Structure 1
Amino acid sequence: MGSGARTGAERRRTGTTAGRGRAALRAVVAVLLAATAVGLTPSAAGAAPRNPSDAEIGAAEQARADAAARVGQIGAELAQARTRIEALHQAALVALQDYEDKQAAHEAARAAAEAAAAAAVQAAADLQRGRDDVAAFARASYMQGSTSPGITALLSAAGPAELIERSALLDAAGVNRVEVVAGLTVLEEQAAAAEQVARQATEQAAAVQQEAAGLLADAQSQEVEARRQADALDAEEGGLQAELQQAQQVLAGLQGARSAAEQAAEQAAARQAAERQAAAPAPPRTPARPVPTPSAPAPVRPTGGTAGAPSASAAETAIAAARSQLGVPYSWGGGGSNGPSNGIPPDSQLFGFDCSGLTQYAYAQAGIAIGGTSRDQWWLNRNKQVATADLQPGDLLFWGGNRNDYMSITHVAIYIGGGQMIEAPDRGQHVTVARARTSSSTYFGAVRPSAR
């Protein structure tokens, strides 16, 4: 894709800049190490520490400032790259929910196809029984002589009574023959129709499955690429910060040497002054004045919300279920009403929950079906919205990219009160208690599934 190509070029450009930054930092560290070796080595055993010159300190400070500027420049580029990676990750989450929606449609289509196939099998069995009935009737008619011309059957009668009986039997046989053949025709039509319905249902299920597979592949490729870029970015940033930290430590060593030398000089001067003014009293110390603690700003209280009062028992059950899963790993696409499960690639070997799997499980334990994806959980409870100021334990909190489009929702958590929530955060993390991020720019809103 075009965005992928741009991202790759920018990564290469960032990598080149980072390489130059690391080279510069290594040079800075070498200079500072040399200066430190000179500045911290005492001239003789027991001698006072050498005080680095102003020129040495100035050069080290300038070198550290230059290195910090280089790291800051690269850090800005890395921050932009991280923003792009986060957008890619969010797109992967949206694609994952598209897949889960389509997969649910596939399951419904497959069930319909199975029902149609069963109906076709039953129709075929009914048809075979009809054919068997026709064959049995033909055999019986032949054995009983009713297939002979009617006049022959009548003429062979032994007497008037048998003549009357034989005539009645022939009339009944003719009527029955018509009914059997008509019934067989209906069964043949029903069997053909059932087979066509089964074939169409199977084709529809296969088409939906193919769409789901395409959506899954798209979600997986975006998530894998987002993780790869994030890991590379973390390694790049970690290396730069380590080199800058080394430069700062060397500079701190020089500054420490100066401080030690100055302290030694002050102590020597103090001893000399004490010897001259042994009788002079020390000046009184002025106690430090306490610094007032600024008061926190009053929180903004949004308005709105349509949910009724919560069911305390349902909310408590859902929260208890969520708490029981604390520490369970985050697994992309994992978990559901029955508890944690293996996710989908790249987390197919990781047993745990994603965000909506955790909340679905929590409310399933309270007997409430809230849907499988985060945006489904919003949509199914959209008439039970809750204002931020009115949040109650058990409410579901949502985050997304566009406040006016619920299809942009990518994360959900369960509020537990006291400004906290339980969530399955993201890869590499575990189900945890966290601060409820309702002031975030991506906060979408809240609903109350337990509302009466």
Structure 2
Amino acid sequence: MGSTAATQRRAGGRPVRRLAGVAVLAALSLVAAPGLAAAAPVNPSDAQIDAAQQQTQTAAQQVDAITAALAGAQASVDSAREQSAIALDDYQGKQADYEAAQVTADAATEAADAAARDLADARAALVSFARQSYQQGSTSPALEALTTADGPAQMLERAALLEAAGAHHGDVVVQVTTAEEQARAAQDEARAALAQAAALKQDAEDALQIAEQYEASARAQAADLADQQTAMEQQLAQAQQSLQGLKDARAEAERYAAEQAAAARAAAAKAEAERTAAAQRVAAAAAAAPAPRAGTQQAAVRAPAAAAPVRVAGAGDSSAVETAIAAAREQIGVIYSWGGGSLSGPSMGWGIDAGIVGFDCSGLTRYAYAQAGVSIPRNSSAQYRSLPKVSRSDLQRGDLVFWATDTSNASTIHHVAIYLGNDRILEAPQSGSRIRETSMRWGGFIGGARPTA
């Protein structure tokens, strides 16, 4: 009977052990193959990003330099254009002088032509007088006219006429002389006016050439500087694009790594739940088995381990606390970056804050305590779970304070900050804000934890 009972107990124990083994294998398979994404995106090295940042800074400096050169050269361009305007104005004045001189020269030419015609007429009259004198055989027809008069009266009349004629012939000679002088003077004046007009015309052309040179110089300077600025701005845009591409690649790689880590944690949690369920089933099966008789050997079935008790915080390390607070205070003003913050300082966030370098709430608390030599988990809920707990009434300077959407459920924790005492905290609040010191908020407060306990 005893042997039969023992056999039954052993037979009954096999399914229990078999069930536990299946549960353990299932949990191990979940841990080993959590179903993570296949190909990880390439994360650019710090050297690559540093080089791209240096290239961007160099291009920006070149743009600044050419912009400054443009500002300085603009004065030269403006001066060239001013000189161009002055030269153009000078040309216009000389052109007007030339046109006036040309009018004067035209008038002088016309006067010279008129004087030449008068001289020709006077000379013709003189030639006619000489011809008549020659034909009459005397250059003085007065004697013949007087001697052929019919009487004293006719003689007196002819003498008066001859006197008038002689005066006329004398006037003809004077007119010829005067006409010759006037013609020479008119010609001289015309030649001088034409020479002056020609000189003024040349001056005007020279002034126009100078004006054109100034204007061409001004335009060339402006165009050259504009081309340089465009080239530098294109280089800057290319450098910025390259840098942003590397930042985006890093953000994607960090996002991917975070997703992988989250998936691994979820798989581990599921495996833990499976192990716990398996252990509970083992315990239930053991409880349902018949009680062993006295003197018989009991199969060893362990009861499931009790849940770990909540660790209550003891006294903290004040030196480490002050070091952590000082490290966090140095980051006041740094922008919030979702997923940002490393053990060495601000880092690029990802998701909604991809490319933004800063801290999120738990990134700041982990960084601060890392500077004090205290290692705590990365995310806020893990920090709360792993650290010794502190009630509201026992909060001390340097404790971490946590907020949750459901203060009875630690899995809903969404924020953590460093408690400074006197109802003051230091925190990285939210996306778009900056690290700050502010008043403690008790709404949604789920509890505190002491990293140095």
- TM-score, normalized by length of structure 2? 0.44
Larger Rg: 2
TM-score between the two structures when normalised by the length of structure 1: 0.44
